Structure 1
Amino acid sequence: MVWNVTMNLSSMVFLCLISLTSLLEVMYMMIFDFSYYIEWEVITLNSCNVEMTLIIDWMSMLFLSFVTFISAMVMFYSGGYMAGDENEVRFMYLILGFVASMGFLIISPNLVSILLGWDGLGLVSYVLVIYYQNEKSASAGMLTALSNRIGDVAILISIALMFDLGGWGFIFYFDSNLILSVSGLGGLIILAGMTKSAQIPFSAWLPAAMAAPTPVSALVHSSTLVTAGVYLLVRFGPALIGVGSVVLFLLASLTMFMAGLGANFETDLKKIIALSTLSQLGVMMCVLSLGYYKLAFFHLLAHALFKALLFMCAGSVIHSVGGTQDIRAMGGLIYVMPLSITSMNLANLALCGFPFLAGFYSKDLILEVVFSGALNGVGFWLLVLSTGLTVCYTFRLIYYSVSGDYNLVGFAYVSDEDKTMTNPMICLGLGALTGGAVLSWLMFPSPWLVCLPLGLKLLALMVSGLGGFIGYMLNLVGESHTLLSFLNYKWVFFVGSMWCMPFLSTWGPNISILKASQLYYQLGDSGWMEYYGGQGAYFVGLNFSKYLQIIQDNSVKLYMIMFIVWLMVAILI
Structure 2
Amino acid sequence: MFLSSMSLFFLSISMLVMILNKCYIIEWDILMLNSASIVVTYIFDWMSLMFLSFVLFISAMVLYYSGDYMEGDYNINRFIWLVLAFVFSMMFLIISPNMISILLGWDGLGFISYILVIYYQNEKSANAGMMTILSNRVGDVAILLSIGLMFSLGGWNFIYYVFYLSDEISMMLKLLVVIAAMTKSAQIPFSAWLPMAMAAPTPVSALVHSSTLVTAGVYLMIRFSPSLENSGIQSFLLLISCLTMFMSGLGANFEYDLKKIIALSTLSQLGVMLSILALGFKELAFFHLLTHALFKALLFMCAGVIIHNMKEYQDIRSMGGLSKMLPLTSMCLNLSNLALCGIPFLAGFYSKDLILEVAFMSNINMMSFMLFILATGLTVCYTFRLVYYTLTGEFNLTVISSISDNSIIMINPMLGLSLGAILSGAFLSWIIFPETYMICLTLPMKLLVLIISGLGGLMGYFFNNLFLNYTLVSLRFYIIIIFMGSMWFIPYLSTLNMSHSSLKMGSGLFKLGDVGWLEKMGGQGLFMFIMKTSKQGQLIHYNKLKVFMKMFLISMLIILFFMI
Q: Distance in 2 between matches of 1:550 and 1:108?
A: 55
Shift of 1:553: 11
The question of whether the paired residues in 1 share the 8 Å contact of 2:305 and 2:329 is answered with yes
Shift of 1:408: 2.0
Q: Does 1:95 align with 2:83?
A: yes
Shift of 1:175: 3.4
Partner of 2:125: 137
CA deviations on 1:428-486 (whole Å, 9 max, x unpaired) are 00000001111111111112121111111110011001111111111222362699747
- 2:155 aligns with one of 155, 164, 167: 167
**If the length of structure 1 is used for normalisation, what is the TM-score?**
0.92
C-alpha change, 1:183 and 1:33, in structure 2 (3 Å) is same
Which sits farther off after the overlay, 284-293 or 471-480? 471-480
Shift of 1:80: 0.7
Shift of 1:488: 1.6
Partner of 2:40: 52
The question of whether the paired residues in 2 share the 8 Å contact of 1:140 and 1:205 is answered with yes
Partner of 1:26: 14
Shift of 1:534: 2.0
Helix, strand or coil: the match of 2:338? helix
Q: Distance in 1 between matches of 2:92 and 2:352?
A: 28
Q: Does 1:419 align with 2:408?
A: yes
C-alpha change, 1:524 and 1:439, in structure 2 (3 Å) is same
Partner of 1:309: 298
Partner of 1:77: 65
Shift of 1:311: 0.1
Helix, strand or coil: the match of 2:488? coil
Q: Does 1:158 align with 2:146?
A: yes
C-alpha change, 1:549 and 1:17, in structure 2 (3 Å) is farther
Q: Does 1:350 align with 2:339?
A: yes
Partner of 1:327: 316
Length, aligned pairs only: 559
Q: Distance in 1 between matches of 2:167 and 2:42?
A: 20
Shift of 1:493: 1.2
- 2:25 aligns with one of 6, 20, 37: 37
Q: What are structure 2's unaligned runs of at least 5 residues?
A: none
Q: Distance in 2 between matches of 1:133 and 1:403?
A: 34
Partner of 1:270: 259
CA deviations on 1:409-438 (whole Å, 9 max, x unpaired) are 144210111111111000000000001111
The question of whether the paired residues in 1 share the 8 Å contact of 2:96 and 2:102 is answered with yes
Shift of 1:546: 6.4
CA deviations on 1:237-271 (whole Å, 9 max, x unpaired) are 11112331222111111111111111111111000
CA deviations on 1:264-313 (whole Å, 9 max, x unpaired) are 11111000000000100110111011111111011001100000000000
Partner of 1:340: 329
Helix, strand or coil: the match of 1:176? coil
C-alpha change, 1:485 and 1:183, in structure 2 (3 Å) is closer
Partner of 2:186: 198
The question of whether the paired residues in 1 share the 8 Å contact of 2:298 and 2:336 is answered with yes
In angstroms, what is the RMSD of aligned CA positions?
2.7
Structure 1 residues 530-545: aligned runs within 5 Å = 530-542=519-531
- 2:462 aligns with one of 469, 473, 476: 473
CA deviations on 1:196-240 (whole Å, 9 max, x unpaired) are 111111111110111111111001222211111100000111111
Structure 1 residues 153-302: aligned runs within 5 Å = 153-177=141-165, 181-243=169-231, 244-302=233-291
The question of whether the paired residues in 2 share the 8 Å contact of 1:334 and 1:341 is answered with yes
Shift of 1:407: 1.1
Helix, strand or coil: the match of 1:50? strand
The question of whether the paired residues in 2 share the 8 Å contact of 1:165 and 1:178 is answered with no
Q: Distance in 2 between matches of 1:552 and 1:73?
A: 74
C-alpha change, 1:92 and 1:152, in structure 2 (3 Å) is same
Q: Distance in 2 between matches of 1:484 and 1:218?
A: 35
Partner of 1:113: 101
Specify the code of the residue in structure 2 equivalent to 1:25: I
C-alpha change, 1:374 and 1:100, in structure 2 (3 Å) is same
The question of whether the paired residues in 2 share the 8 Å contact of 1:474 and 1:482 is answered with no
The question of whether the paired residues in 2 share the 8 Å contact of 1:264 and 1:483 is answered with no
C-alpha change, 1:360 and 1:183, in structure 2 (3 Å) is closer
Shift of 1:176: 2.9
Helix, strand or coil: the match of 2:437? coil
C-alpha change, 1:544 and 1:74, in structure 2 (3 Å) is farther
Q: Distance in 2 between matches of 1:351 and 1:481?
A: 29
Q: Distance in 1 between matches of 2:214 and 2:471?
A: 29
Q: Distance in 1 between matches of 2:364 and 2:534?
A: 66
Shift of 1:547: 7.6
Partner of 2:490: 501
CA deviations on 1:511-539 (whole Å, 9 max, x unpaired) are 12211211221332123312321222233
Q: Does 1:519 align with 2:508?
A: yes
Q: Does 1:126 align with 2:114?
A: yes
Which sits farther off after the overlay, 533-542 or 304-313? 533-542
- 1:405 aligns with one of 394, 397, 400: 394
Shift of 1:403: 2.0
The question of whether the paired residues in 1 share the 8 Å contact of 2:28 and 2:39 is answered with yes
Partner of 2:429: 440
Specify the code of the residue in structure 2 equivalent to 1:466: L
Q: Distance in 1 between matches of 2:365 and 2:94?
A: 34
**If the length of structure 2 is used for normalisation, what is the TM-score?**
0.93
C-alpha change, 1:49 and 1:178, in structure 2 (3 Å) is farther
The question of whether the paired residues in 1 share the 8 Å contact of 2:253 and 2:382 is answered with yes
Q: Does 1:510 align with 2:492?
A: no
Q: Distance in 1 between matches of 2:296 and 2:370?
A: 25
Helix, strand or coil: the match of 1:374? coil
Specify the code of the residue in structure 1 equivalent to 2:510: Y
